[in-house]
Amino acid sequence: MSSTLPAEVLYGINTIYCVRCEDRLMQCRIKGKVLGRQKREGRSYNPIAPGDRVAVIPDPLSTREGLIVEVLERKSSLTRWNKKGRATQVLAANADLAVCVSSPGSPPFRPRFIDRLAVAAEAGGLEPVVVLNKADLPCPSEIRERLEHYKRMGYRVLTCSARSGEGIVALREALQGKTAVLVGQSGVGKSSILNSMSPALQLKVGELSQKHDRGSHTTNYSSLLLIEGDLRIIDTPGVRELELAEILPEEVGFHFRDFTPHSSGCEFQPCLHAGEPGCAVVRAVERGEIHADRYESYLRIVRELQDSERQGRG
Ligand code: GDP
Ligand code: ZN
């Protein structure tokens, strides 16, 4: 039997995975048995994701090809529900940080997207980080206040501008030595940030319509980029919707940090904070101690998960 080598998955296109193995890149397929086992376990839409640690058997005839025979257990996974595929999609495996990239305008700032990503990150074992790019553009006071609020809740918040270079060094430092997955709507400037951290990447920057052209491989799949200076970044394609996966409605509240000081005061335990009498979270919202928009975010996530439970998704 041939011996296996440890490798790390950079990206996959269709059923071919590009892995880094002993400092060289290899194109690998997955052994049918491994794939079958993962399918039976209902593992996901994409059985292998960027950042996955795998064992490969190199092809005896080619140093550039091999076969993935095992996927090692993940220490973290950032997932979402893929509506079209009707399955959980793993955006990134084994990452430490989930960096939510946002912008003050074009596209608009969406705090509810940040709330969702923060829940998905924590539930999957990653630390959420909030980044506001395009700091060279005017930033309305409501957005500044929301960012301050995220900081008060204990999230790391960074602002930067890929255009002016402001804050890029600090962002680089925050990511150094870790594996970070960048998530955000198309157009927030993920590619521009990556280019400004490493011009050699030469990622395509521009409008949604151009970048998502058929045939362009630049940003329509997640990919682990190994950048000089100890940066390991998983770039995801523009994520517009982040429907949560692999979390129960009753677990969502644990990831709303601002609810925690209040939730033990709810009359019913456990409390879903969604209409039960004597709910201390709702009282805190009424007193203005919990941001009303955070509560709205929470309710939307819980209702969406309840709906999907009713539809028998598991
Ligand atoms: P992505 O879809 O998230 O990868 O975003 P891109 O990097 O392709 O950028 C989308 C658009 O925003 C492009 O027109 C960029 O030139 C612009 N952009 C990116 N970063 C900044 C920035 O810091 N400031 C300003 N004003 N525009 C930016
Ligand atoms: Zn409650």
Please count the helices (runs of H) and the strands (runs of E) in the chain. Answer: 10, 13
What is the tens place of the pLDDT at every residue in 75-128?
Answer: 999 999 988 888 899 999 999 999 999 999 999 999 999 999 999 999 999 999
Supply the pLDDT for residue 212. Answer: 46
Ligand number, closest to the Cα atom of 167: 1
Hey, which of 109, 205, 223, 235 would you mutate to test ligand 1's pocket, going by the most ligand atoms within 8 Å of its Cβ? 205
If you measure from the C-alpha of residue 20 to the centroid of ligand 2, how many angstroms do you get, rounded to a whole number?
A: 48
- Which are the contacts of 18, defined by CB distance < 8 A and separation ≥ 6? 9, 10, 11, 12, 25, 26, 27, 28
If you measure from the C-alpha of residue 13 to the centroid of ligand 1, how many angstroms do you get, rounded to a whole number?
A: 25
User: Which secondary structure element, helix H or strand E, spans residue 21, and what is its range?
Assistant: strand 16-21
If you measure from the C-alpha of residue 192 to the centroid of ligand 1, how many angstroms do you get, rounded to a whole number?
A: 6
What tokens were used for 309? 């439970």
Cα separation, 301 vs 244, whole angstroms: 8
**305 phi-psi bin (left φ>0, alpha ψ -120 to 50, beta other):** alpha
Q: Is 306 exposed, middle or buried (0-12, 13-18, 19+ CB in 10 A)?
A: middle
What is the tens place of the pLDDT at every residue in 242-276?
Answer: 999 999 999 999 999 999 999 999 999 999 999 99
53 against 314, higher pLDDT: 53
What is the tens place of the pLDDT at every residue in 23-53?
Answer: 999 999 998 877 776 666 666 778 899 999 9
Cα separation, 222 vs 17, whole angstroms: 12
Cα separation, 49 vs 43, whole angstroms: 12
The response to whether residue 191 sits with its C-beta less than 6 Å from ligand 1 reads yes
Ligand number, closest to the Cα atom of 132: 1
Q: Is 197 exposed, middle or buried (0-12, 13-18, 19+ CB in 10 A)?
A: buried
CA-nearest residue for atom 17, ligand 1, is 189
Q: Work out the average pLDDT over 180-185.
A: 96
